[in-house]
Amino acid sequence: MKSEAISTTPIDSFLIPLSSMITPNKARREHTIIRTLRITILVVLVLVGVAGAAPFAYVTSIGIDTGTVFVIDTATDNLTALVPVEGWAGEAAINPAGTKVYVTDSSGSTNVFVIDTKTNTVDAVVDVGGYPRGIAVNPKGSRVYVTKRYSRVDDDSNNVSVINVVIGTSTNTVMDPVNLGLSTYNIAFTPDGKKIYATNSLNNTTSVIDATTNKIITTVPVGDHPTDIAVSPDGRKAYVINSGSNDISVIGSATSTVTATIPVGDGPSDIAVSPDGTNVYVTNWRSNNVSVINAATNTVTATISVGLTPFGVAVTPDGKKVYVVNSAIYSSDYEGNVSVIDTSTNKVTATVNTGKYTMNCPTGVVIGPSISSDMIDQKIKVTSYETDQSTMATLNTTEDIGVKGTNLSSEEKNAVKLNNSNNNSESNNDSSSGGKESNKSNSTPGFGLLGGLVCLYIGQRLRKK
């Protein structure tokens, strides 16, 4: 057998001196550390920017020719969009995701309008079969409960219509009504969604309902003419406005009994609880002020003067601001506004800037969750769900928007000018497409993304050095 000679190479030839490997390995490790640090900083800053972005407030107004929902940026307290609706925009509720706002028509129709907050357009109108009054969304966002002043079919004021909301579709259908009590005014859910509290204004009671079975668990006697209601974040208390006796009934959820009665101002109209549950804010429309209640002691600790005839009230998710809607319903011009209260000082620090647009008798306000401004396309432009085209033409004027004192960057000003200059061509497009499309201008990126890019740039420069 012929043997083959196998050439060999000394193993020493493969050995690389250890000293020659130290520099590349060290550089590789430093590069990995720097890259990881840059990515971490970017992620953290972006998350901070997303979490810290201010939400939008939605203020309902009867409008001039038609109802209007004003969209307010709570970071700047400036108007960012207008959404016309048919009839008069009355009460409002927002789903937990902040993607839909539900608005009742208080003009006498039987409609509830569904606003898409991404486009600020009405994407559905639901006929609830009776005059809508109060409205609330369950914690899952799957159903919207609407109280009715009375039913046209049987003239019965005991019904609550339930709109079954299918998120992401246009199939908003009305389910079977729930019979609660005499002239149910408004409702509120516990945070876990298991209970519903409903105020019955004509028999001075509040019903406690099992949200699963829609059956009344018990009925709690409260003050005179109960109207609006709010539940604490932990679900342990329900606060009921008694508009006839100028006080608040506090219902303990464990016993379903009134545990305290708190006197407030003259003509209490709306109520909101701070996110941490420590304070309760009540608007008093005859007193033109807001009562601040300490939830631990059930006492009024401050009274804050606001505008004329305050109705709606809402607290921002961070608990730092309270928005009070001043309807000015008894003034000669009905020109209302929105007062902004700093919760740390209990003082009005700003009035919402609506520019040239007038809030005619605003009544309600809801505030969405804190989300990134990059995730929602907001615009200073009225959208096209409108029966009176002349009104829309006036609101969508090509002149300067007239918002004085706004803190717009040059980029934002250019976006506004572009938005207004494209208005005429868009109006034609809207009329041909049923008015479903609208122009969009993204908000300026928040500090998270911008700061992340700056840090990446600095890191790159340091690495080169």
pLDDT tens-digit series, residues 246-280: 999 999 999 999 999 999 999 999 999 999 999 99
373: pLDDT strictly greater than 50? no
Is the pLDDT higher at 271 or at 48?
271
Q: Domain residues of the chain, as ranges?
A: 53-375
Is the pLDDT higher at 398 or at 289?
289
Q: Which CATH number does 53-375 carry?
A: 2.130.10.10
180-213 residue pLDDT tens: 656 789 999 999 999 999 999 888 999 999 998 8
In the structure, what pLDDT confidence band is assigned to residue 245 with cuts at 50, 70 and 90? very high
Q: How far apart, in whole angstroms, are the C-alpha atoms of residue 366 and residue 96?
A: 11
The token pair at 217 is 């668990």
Is the pLDDT higher at 47 or at 331?
331
Is the pLDDT higher at 264 or at 10?
264
Q: What is the mean pLDDT of residues 80-91?
A: 94
99-128 residue pLDDT tens: 999 999 998 888 999 999 999 999 999 988
Q: How far apart, in whole angstroms, are the C-alpha atoms of residue 324 and residue 340?
A: 6
In the structure, what pLDDT confidence band is assigned to residue 9 with cuts at 50, 70 and 90? very low
In the structure, what pLDDT confidence band is assigned to residue 58 with cuts at 50, 70 and 90? very high
In the structure, what pLDDT confidence band is assigned to residue 454 with cuts at 50, 70 and 90? very low
Share above pLDDT 90 across residues of the chain, in percent, rounded to a whole number? 49
330: pLDDT strictly greater than 60? yes
- Hey, what long-range contacts does 300-308 have (CB within 8 A, 24 or more apart)? 300/262, 300/263, 300/264, 302/346, 303/265, 304/341, 304/346, 304/347, 304/348, 305/348, 306/339, 306/341, 306/348, 307/336, 307/337, 307/339, 307/351, 308/336
Give CA 245 to chain center in angstroms: 31
Is residue 141 a contact partner of residue 164, using CB atoms and an 8 Å limit? no
pLDDT value of position 175: 75
Is residue 110 a contact partner of residue 129, using CB atoms and an 8 Å limit? yes
In the structure, what pLDDT confidence band is assigned to residue 398 with cuts at 50, 70 and 90? very low
396: pLDDT strictly greater than 50? no
Is the pLDDT higher at 261 or at 178?
261
